[in-house]
Structure 1
């Protein structure tokens, strides 16, 4: 069983490990709590609260090694940021929904809320490691502590929590962190602002032809980069928080120093052995075959 550790005392590497999915300690929550519809990502429909037909009695996936081949690509790009094991082993004390069916409905409602909180912890933890954010370290640390406190609430309190309001407060500080880092990067790279195209949050770049583009220190927050061609592009210090990278071609692209990049974004993209990622992310298996 996982221990309820003091998040503020864990090293950065330990915090990131704390926010990575651990299926061994989870009750298959993503395979039950979340709905999906037949599409290019899923082979069939499934309602929220309905166990996936591939979920086994030990909470393992029976087709884990074949997911992409049989039409469940969506499963391979999902990341709970460690919310699954937190809900399973701490919020519900290791008692699963099969043994205590009366907890199932509430547990499935708590899980996506916990995932949001853990995602915020991921971003806040990264912001604390970024150069040029020293002036807001105190505020960032305060929000890390508050977010971790919220993750330790009992199930009833989590259900009534206004996660959207907390996310909005966190986003204000994350945006400030991004601005500080990107402004410093523009000076470091000696790139006049006038030479850089401004995209802005939520930019529609679906299918955009950006091969070899210099996107250093760009604001691509929430950008729709679905199926965009970013082969060989330079995305160092680019803010990618919330960017949709489904089928984005990142072959040969440099994301080694990108801001707020997550594993599930990378998993959804296309890449190869020349794609440069931050050291704390893992190249997906399909990168080696594309």
Structure 2
């Protein structure tokens, strides 16, 4: 069975992958300087943020604004079957790599959902559902996430669909 893609983050079902995956050197909204793949210095050993309630005041407003569109929980819950680096540190690198590969797929899935709310007719809905189905298949394994050509084809198809949509309708979707 193909797992559906969620298009909103659920941090409680993730493993703080965004707090590890990205660098924060000289990035507005991130007060700590860290390299990609390195845990945020505000991340506790259990994977929880030590300043969660005061992120904005502490200079981490970027953490509040960040949205992975469901990539994090998909990686943890589906691709790693609920296991994560907190219980098995050897999973840290493969999980971060998989998260970074999953992000474009999740971004595209979010855009598909947004476009479905603005689709003017059944033909466009069908085209969007085809892209959505392909993205769901890509997201089912770490190997298929590595197929950048396949992901690029989904992006190209979605660009063509978006070009046909009324921007005013899309903005309300």
**Shorter-chain-normalised TM-score: which range?**
0.7 to 0.9
Partner of 2:42: 54
Q: Which structure's relative contact order is higher, taking Cα pairs within 8 Å and 6+ residues apart?
A: 2
How far residue 6 of structure 1 moved from its aligned partner, in angstroms, is 4.3
2:9/2:72 contact within 8 Å kept: yes
TM-score, with structure 1 as normaliser: 0.54
Superposition pairs for residues 154-165 of structure 1, below 5 Å? 155=142, 157-158=143-144, 160-162=146-148, 165=149
Partner of 2:171: 258
Partner of 1:134: 122
Larger Rg: 1
Partner of 1:172: 156
**What secondary structure is seen at the aligned counterpart in 2 of 1:85?**
helix
2:135/2:154 contact within 8 Å kept: no
1:23/1:84 contact within 8 Å kept: yes
CA distance in 1, matches of 2:81, 2:58: 35
CA distance in 2, matches of 1:34, 1:172: 26
Select which of 25, 38, 43 maps to 1:37.
25
Superposition pairs for residues 137-152 of structure 1, below 5 Å? 137-152=125-140
How far residue 167 of structure 1 moved from its aligned partner, in angstroms, is 4.0
Please list the CA deviations of residues 194-251 of structure 1 after superposition, one character each: whole Å capped at 9, or x if unmatched.
Answer: xxxxxxxxxxxxxxxxxxxxxxx4xxxxxxxxxxxxxxxxxx44xxxxxxxxxxxxxx
**Larger deviation, residues 91-100 vs 128-137:** 128-137
How far residue 54 of structure 1 moved from its aligned partner, in angstroms, is 1.0
CA distance in 1, matches of 2:157, 2:90: 39
Please list the CA deviations of residues 98-119 of structure 1 after superposition, one character each: whole Å capped at 9, or x if unmatched.
Answer: 3222222111101011121111
Select which of 91, 105, 115 maps to 1:103.
91
How far residue 125 of structure 1 moved from its aligned partner, in angstroms, is 2.2
2:17/2:96 contact within 8 Å kept: yes
Q: How many residues align?
A: 173
Task: Mark the runs of 5 or more structure 2 residues left unpaired by the alignment.
Answer: none
Partner of 1:189: none
Task: Mark the runs of 5 or more structure 1 residues left unpaired by the alignment.
Answer: 8-14, 183-216, 218-235, 238-256, 260-277, 279-290
1:20/1:80 contact within 8 Å kept: yes
TM-score, with structure 2 as normaliser: 0.86
How far residue 159 of structure 1 moved from its aligned partner, in angstroms, is 5.9
CA distance in 2, matches of 1:85, 1:57: 19
How far residue 19 of structure 1 moved from its aligned partner, in angstroms, is 1.5
**What secondary structure is seen at the aligned counterpart in 2 of 1:32?**
helix
RMSD: 2.3
**What secondary structure is seen at the aligned counterpart in 2 of 1:258?**
helix
